[in-house]
Amino acid sequence: MTTAASNHPTGTASANPHKVSHISVFGEAIEFFDEAASNLELDPNIKRILTHPSRQVIISIPFQRDNGDFDVYTGYRVQYSFARGPAKGGVRYHPDVTLDEVTALAFWMTWKCAVVDLPFGGGKGGVTCDPRVLSKNELERLTRRYAAEIMEVIGPDKDVPAPDVGTTPQIMAWIMDTVSMHNRGYTPGVVTGKPLNVGGSRGRVEATGRGVMIAIQSALEKMGKKLQGQRVVIQGFGNVGSISALLLREHGAKIVGISDQYVGLQNPAGIDVESAIAYINAPENPRRSLEGFPGCDTLSNQQLLELPCDILVPAAIENQLTADNARKIKAQIIAEGANGPTTPAADGLFSQAGVTVIPDILANAGGVTVSYFEWVQDRMGYYWREREVNERLGEVLRENFDAVWNLAQNHKVTLRTAAYMLAIQRVVDSLTTRGIYA
């Protein structure tokens, strides 16, 4: 296990030599921080601390394939901040995972936890792999070796992983079991997003999508509008995108465009979301793709983003809304279901155009909020009914959305800047109260 530290916030090198990238995701994330920090007149010494991760762990993961051969993948765990509590953040399995990306995601998790006032810091993990080409047994062996390699830095009071892109509740169960076996005890609080029968929380699977819906409802209420009849386009039809689409449709919105990594679909009259979810989950659709779904016109993901609509939900991956396409976006509200879907340049263009962007650290904070509820339930051994989980989630998100909205109005800044201002101030308050051990 190697521990690395970046000497400059934009200098985290890509750990995947085959991935060519001229943009540091972490570097772009820092730009949003800098704007908010300038509004807070942040002490330069505090700013210097907050723009560097606490710990970056790089590991090699040898595991045996079903044919007997061994592969070695690279894994990461970045713990950005512990100022407000244990690090918290998902584990991503994807071919393009790099140290730079994981550091940016851990950075965002720090502010996401703080903006909804959770007692967590920020963390994130990842393995550079394609889980779609691995058998279930290979995936289990890879996961258990990854868990064994990072277990000295994770735990209920240290760092609490969760599912992310390419990982599932089953993978969380394997991590929990691996750590529990090494510790010779039952440790359900080491991860969240687990299946219900091993300490998971009701409402967790739907939580991020439900949070997106609540954020959109809250923004519309502030504007004196209703969700009924709003035309919505959603990029990404995984857990977040599909649940967002389902809940928005249930509350009266019209879903006019959806997409996955393979294809985009549009239907101005509205897409039957329930049928689309059933279609991708059908046994005869092993790729879980929207390709071939009837009753819609097909288009590219880029074309999908530019469809006429009232609300756009980018719920796929980073850097989808850029300076190249920002002027072509027709939505008046953008709710960031994904982490980092908007570049700083695009964000500036949206602000100039009067587009309301509900930032990722607020719009998709439903998942980490219910992860916090799961962590609490695991530690006390008492589990809540789903109605209780959803009610508590709504209270947390609406209360903190109001705080962000009011801050934006008072300081005449965007919702993103206001969200960062609120989050940064909460982290700074914790950091300065604890003191800096130097």
Tell me the pairing of strands 159-163 and 70-81.
Answer: unpaired
Same domain, 149 and 73: yes
SS3 state of residue 321: strand
How many domains does the structure of the chain reveal? 2
Measured between alpha carbons, how far is 419 from 87 in angstroms, rounded to an integer? 20
Hey, which residues does 4 pair with through a beta bridge? 56
- Half-sphere exposure (Cβ direction) of 250: Cα atoms closer than 13 Å: 11
Domain assignment present for 342: yes
CB 298 within 8 A of CB 257: no
Specify the DSSP class assigned to residue 307. S
What is the extent of the structural domain holding 96?
55-200
Same domain, 94 and 162: yes
Measured between alpha carbons, how far is 143 from 167 in angstroms, rounded to an integer? 10
Q: Tokens at residue 309, please?
A: 């609509």
Distance of CA 125 to the CA centre of its chain: 12
200, 226, 257 — which closes off a domain?
Answer: 200
Same domain, 165 and 299: no
Measured between alpha carbons, how far is 427 from 113 in angstroms, rounded to an integer? 10
Which H helix or E strand runs over 423? helix 415-434
* Rg for the chain, CA atoms, rounded: 21
Q: Going residue by residue through the chain (438 aa), what tens digit of pLDDT does each one get?
A: 655 544 344 333 333 333 334 467 888 888 889 889 888 988 999 999 999 999 999 999 999 999 999 999 999 999 999 999 999 999 999 999 999 999 999 999 999 999 999 999 999 999 999 998 999 999 999 999 999 999 999 999 999 999 988 999 999 999 999 999 999 999 999 999 999 999 999 999 899 999 999 999 999 999 999 999 999 999 999 889 999 999 999 999 999 999 998 999 999 999 999 999 999 999 998 888 999 999 999 999 889 999 999 999 999 888 889 999 999 999 999 999 998 899 999 999 999 999 999 999 999 999 999 999 999 999 999 999 999 999 999 999 999 999 999 999 999 999 999 999 999 999 999 999 999 887
Q: Which residue has the tokens 């690395």?
A: 4
Start-to-end CA distance of the chain, whole Å, equals 25
Hey, which residues does 2 pair with through a beta bridge? 58
What's this model's pTM, rounded to 2 decimal places?
Answer: 0.89
181, 200, 219 — which closes off a domain?
Answer: 200
| Residue 4, pLDDT score | 53
CATH number at residue 264: 3.40.50.720
| Residue 318, pLDDT score | 81
Same domain, 166 and 214: no
| Residue 117, pLDDT score | 97
200, 226, 250 — which closes off a domain?
Answer: 200
Residues serving a catalytic function are: 124
To the nearest 10 degrees (0 to 180), the angle between helices 386-411 and 366-380 is 130
CB 93 within 8 A of CB 165: yes
| Residue 16, pLDDT score | 37
CATH number at residue 125: 3.40.50.10860
Same domain, 209 and 357: yes
Spatial strand order in the sheet of 297-299? 297-299, 264-266, 254-259, 231-235, 311-314, 333-335, 356-358
| Residue 70, pLDDT score | 95
Measured between alpha carbons, how far is 186 from 416 in angstroms, rounded to an integer? 40
